[in-house]
Structure 1
Amino acid sequence: MENPANPVFLRYPGGKKRKVKSFFDLLPTKDEIKGRYFEPFLGGATVFFHIRPKKATLSDLSGDLMDLYRGVKKDPKGVWQKYRTLPEGRDAYYAIRNEDLSKANLITRAARTLFLNRTCFKGMWRYNSAGRFNVGYGGEDRRWVITEHDLVMVSKLLKGKHLLTSDFEQIIAYANEGDYIFLDPPYQPGESEMRNDHFGYMCFSFTDQIRLARCLTKASSRGVKWALTNSGASEITELYQDLHLLVLDLSVLETDKGERLETRKEVIMTNLTKGG
């Protein structure tokens, strides 16, 4: 059953915080994973926090995101103290957003990223062509929903876990028989949808979707079990047409209060049969 104390602390486009209940029966328990757990599109880490595997390699292509996890893992109270002292308001947001912290220490960078995530518009994770975070101000309503206790809990769950900044192909190549991979890549848009720009310069093209499918085919041949979420776009389901598919109708455009605005078909694809 779902862990009642899931410590998801980030706002993240496409996050599975509200959706994991719809497909958790397809996910293995931590005791069913005989080897390592891999998650190469970590994002908000909802599924990792849900399963709480004993051994895990967690990764994402975003260096800012992974530095946030590294900072919270290393010193959650230090990140919280930096976070809570950052000023409020629109002007402060843009000043902090535009500040160059490339030479700042890990804890300061982590606190800044957490601040931007909690106060930016709809939790979007978007960068310009120069690699600078460029999402506008969204307000303070969601800033204090999280607590120091949340960061401490996240830190405990990350203890002993490997955190990497990497492309998914390298991470999938590490997995072998007995290992399990959960993948939640940027979704392929349907015919009537505009391409998702939440990830800015880190655009995930259909060529990447094909590359991902090929990596998972190779992983399957090594005895790796995995599950992947994506949109119900026909070109995606055709890439995985020989697999068991669970088709879900889920709300994809929501306010932070969970108000349902639009529905779109999503698919959960897996080569794992529960109990086998």
Structure 2
Amino acid sequence: MFLLTLTIINTYLLNDVNSDLINVFQHIKVNHTALINDLRAFFSAKLNNPETYYALRKEFNNTDDAYLKALLFIYLNRHGFQGLCRYNLSGVFNVPYGHYKKVYFPENEIIITASKLKHAILMNDQFSQAFRRARKGDIIYCDPPYVSLNKTANFTSYAAGGFSYEQQIRLAQLAEKACSRGVHVVISNHDMPVTRALYTKSSNIKSFNVRRSINAKSAKAKSVKELIASYIPSNI
């Protein structure tokens, strides 16, 4: 979830409930050069095999070293199955090995991220806390864990504890309230009857097709519909 707080967006707040992701951002912001130098060793061909992957995944789940955890999170994201970020009900990261012959080292992306984070406040909290900080004229972009396309998709939990349908409802309610006090809110999600029911009361909805390949039973990407719901204050 992203909270943008100036008209020309040169200062902004990034909030995410996933503490591992915010931890990575924090280390990129503090010293991205050191992070890149230390991370490079994890992208050696010698470490691109299932035995090493599962050993490092176990270390990631057990370590209390924040810096090591940041390095391992990026390693797991690039070497794991299709870049998934998934935890079980106990909060254990459990994405399987991706079996890629060659793994891309995201050096340029880290450098670009570091330049953006110079102007960012980082926050690891519930989305309701980010809404409380918003003021008239601010823009909030919300990218919640999407409503599942089908029952079998419910295996995914982006953060420990998951994201329930009740939280989806709460997010839509907060968006409507924020809009009433002059905050522009944008939410993305799958385009389904259930999500349209959440957002159609007070928002403008745009639908579009995207290509998705996160499906272990299919080697081909499939087209699915997503939506953007915009809550635009009347004074804009």
TM-score with structure 1 length normalisation?
A: 0.72
Query: In the superposition, relative to structure 1, how do residues 238 and 142 fare at CA in structure 2: closer, same or farther (>3 Å)?
Result: farther
Q: d(CA) in 2 for partners of 1:167 and 1:102? A: 24
Match of 2:205 in 1: 245
Q: d(CA) in 2 for partners of 1:150 and 1:239? A: 34
C-alpha displacement at 1:266, in angstroms?
1.4
Structure 1 residues 170-189: aligned runs within 5 Å: 170-189=129-148
Q: d(CA) in 2 for partners of 1:260 and 1:91? A: 27
2:157 pairs with 1:199: yes
Q: Which residue identity lines up with residue 209 of structure 1 in the other structure?
A: Q
For 2:155, what is the secondary structure of its paired residue? coil
Q: CA RMSD in A?
A: 2.5
2:173 pairs with 1:214: yes
Verify the 8 A CA contact 1:179 1:225 in the aligned structure 2: yes
Match of 1:103 in 2: 64
Structure 1 gap ranges (5+)? 1-32, 38-51
C-alpha displacement at 1:206, in angstroms?
1.1
Deviations 1:188-219 (A, max 9, x none): 134x5533433254321111111111111111
Question: Structure 2 residue aligned with 1:88, among 48, 71, 79?
Answer: 48
Verify the 8 A CA contact 2:15 2:124 in the aligned structure 1: yes
Match of 1:139 in 2: 99
Verify the 8 A CA contact 1:58 1:163 in the aligned structure 2: yes
Query: In the superposition, relative to structure 1, how do residues 141 and 168 fare at CA in structure 2: closer, same or farther (>3 Å)?
Result: farther
Query: In the superposition, relative to structure 1, how do residues 152 and 205 fare at CA in structure 2: closer, same or farther (>3 Å)?
Result: same
Query: In the superposition, relative to structure 1, how do residues 164 and 141 fare at CA in structure 2: closer, same or farther (>3 Å)?
Result: farther
TM-score with structure 2 length normalisation?
A: 0.84
- Return the structure number with greater helix share: 2
Q: Which residue identity lines up with residue 64 of structure 2 in the other structure?
A: K
Q: Give the fraction of aligned pairs with identical amino acids, expressed as a percent.
A: 27
Structure 2 gap ranges (5+)? none
Match of 1:169 in 2: 128
